[in-house]
Structure 1
Amino acid sequence: MMSNLFSMFDPSTNIFNMSINWLSSIIGIIIIPMPFWLTPSRFHMLWYNIMSSLHKEFKTLLGSSGKNGSTFIFVSLFSLIMFNNFMGLFPYVFTSTSHMVMTLSLALPLWLSFMLYGWINHSTHMFAHLVPQGTPAALMPFMVCIETISNLIRPGTLAVRLAANMIAGHLLLTLLGSTGPSMNILMINILIITQIALLTLESAVAIIQSYVFAVLSTLYSSEVN
């Protein structure tokens, strides 16, 4: 019995007082099917097609001003987040992307590097972004404040969006699952079907949230060029 509903997100498993649940972020590579490493294989070709599609889309978002090879940063970011999201769907596996420490560690350095690069190399372009085209002169001071605030909160919104979506689904699954012992056979069957449906939804959310994080990071990068 959990003393706290959020204790499922607590990295409490440890060996010699060293938390090992965070290792789920990297240790899951062990469960990659062996045929993936054989070229060509179905697993390899499937992943190659996914990465190629993402590379083309991110290249379009970055436009002609994007540097060669810069799309690989965002493709790798998508892969890392999706991998960690899926790892959290396994029973008793720590969900690292449900913690702000993890999500903010991804979002903040990216945003900070974009801002530093933009203000150092394209200062005029960055100042122009603070006042949208066609803004009346009387509203310009307000628009500068609004655009500045919206730029400053970007890493926070990226981090909170990912963490909140991961927490919400897991909490719902845990909350419904904890009611099982007090149900009759009919209700348990309904509960199992509901849990399977929610797990399928969470699998889709795991992909969508990693895609949203990568796409928004790409769009923020394209604004500084």
Structure 2
Amino acid sequence: MMTNLFSVFDPSTSLMNMSLNWMSTTLGLFIIPMSFWFIPSQNYLLWNKLLMNLYIEFKMLLGIKNINKGSSFIFISLFSMIMFNNFMGLFPYIFTSTSHMVLTLSLALPLWISFMLYGWINNTQHMFMHLVPQGTPPILMPFMVCIETISNMIRPGTLAIRLAANMIAGHLLLTLLGNTGPSMNYMMMSLLIMTQIALLILESAVAIIQSYVFAVLSTLYSSEVN
């Protein structure tokens, strides 16, 4: 029962004899991004520089007229997500989600469908022009339309299969070589460990390259519909 109207302002909240009232003073630090109240680390500066380089490159690929719509940030987020999942799959006993077509096709197919719908609804004449490359002889125009249509239809599949196949290939090679370890002598075992370390470094590079390729190709497909 409240005996005093001003008793609600008393610092009386406690947990295990620890006052929690003054915790509200520090809650703002958890809401403000760490970059505003921490000295940036070298990892943060490196990541920020990488994202800025990606932003500049995607801006050139998309063109000036699409930059104000924030299109480049979508592909930067896509790059970050794929690279994070690729690297997580390099750790033991962690599921590699990007090696399965369920995830890769779920990323590629909605992007491609949205690009096609936007292009054919808003820039129909421009999309028809893409079906016939400039300088094509009239007699070859029907064949070029068929070829360009097929190449356009298989784009989401090639995006998804490229990413999944590269992730599967490296992991299979690491697994197959690792399973031969118990039957080797010490000399061959040391050679196997060095080979596995080299393959792990290669897989780390592949994780970055494949996420970059996926994002860049998605950017190029987006720039074609405008």
TM-score bracket, normalised by the shorter chain, equals: 0.7 to 0.9
Query: For 1:80 and 1:202, how far apart are their aligned partners in 2?
Result: 17
- The DSSP-based 3-state class of the residue aligned with 1:91 is coil
Q: Which amino acid aligns with 1:176?
A: L
Aligned to 1:134: 135
Deviations 1:93-129 (A, max 9, x none): 1000000000000000001000000000000000000
Aligned pair count reads 192
Matched residue of 1:187: which SS? helix
Equivalent residue letter for 1:61: L
What is the TM-score with the length of structure 2 in the denominator? 0.82
Map 1:21-60 onto structure 2 (within 5 A): 38-60=38-60
Can you list the C-alpha shifts for 1:162-203, whole angstroms capped at 9, x where unaligned? 000000000000000000000000000000000000000000
- Identity level (%): 78
- How is 1:12-23 mapped onto 2 (pairs within 5 angstroms)? none
Q: Residue 40 of structure 1 aligns to a residue in which SS?
A: coil
8 Å Cα contact 1:38-1:44 kept in structure 2: no
Deviation of 1:63 (Å) = 1.4
Is 1:110 the counterpart of 2:104? The answer is: no
Instruction: Give 1:39 deviation, angstroms.
Output: 4.9
Match of 1:64 in 2: 64
TM-score, with structure 1 as normaliser: 0.83
Q: How far is 1:41 from its partner? A: 2.6
> Which blocks of at least 5 consecutive residues in structure 2 are unaligned?
1-33
**CA shift for structure 1 position 64:** 2.3
Match of 1:210 in 2: 211
In the alignment, which residue of structure 2 is the partner of 1:121?
A: 122
Please list the CA deviations of residues 29-51 of structure 1 after superposition, one character each: whole Å capped at 9, or x if unmatched. xxxxx99x935332222111110
* Letter of the structure 2 residue corresponding to residue 118 of structure 1: G
Aligned twin of 2:222: 221
Aligned AA (1:100):
M
2:223 alignment partner AA: S
Q: Which residue of 1 aligns with 2:167?
A: 166
Which ranges in structure 1 are unaligned for 5 or more consecutive residues?
1-33
- 1:4-40 Cα shifts (integer Å, max 9, x gaps): xxxxxxxxxxxxxxxxxxxxxxxxxxxxxx99x9353
Question: Could you tell me which amino acid in structure 1 is paired with residue 101 of structure 2?
Answer: M
Q: Which of the two has higher C-alpha Rg?
A: 2
Q: In the alignment, residue 221 of structure 1 is paired with which amino acid? A: S
SS of 1:65's equivalent? Answer: helix
* Paired AA for residue 124 in structure 2: S
Amino acid of the residue matched to residue 45 of structure 1? Answer: L
Residue of structure 1 equivalent to 2:187: 186
Question: Distance between the aligned counterparts of 1:109 and 1:61, measured in 2?
Answer: 20
Distance in 2 (CA, whole Å) between partners of 1:183 and 1:86 is 29
SS at match of 2:64: coil
SS in 1 for 2:66: coil
Deviation at 1:55, TM superposition (A): 0.2
| Contact 2:59/2:67 (<8 A) preserved | no
Distance 1:106 1:188 in 2: 40
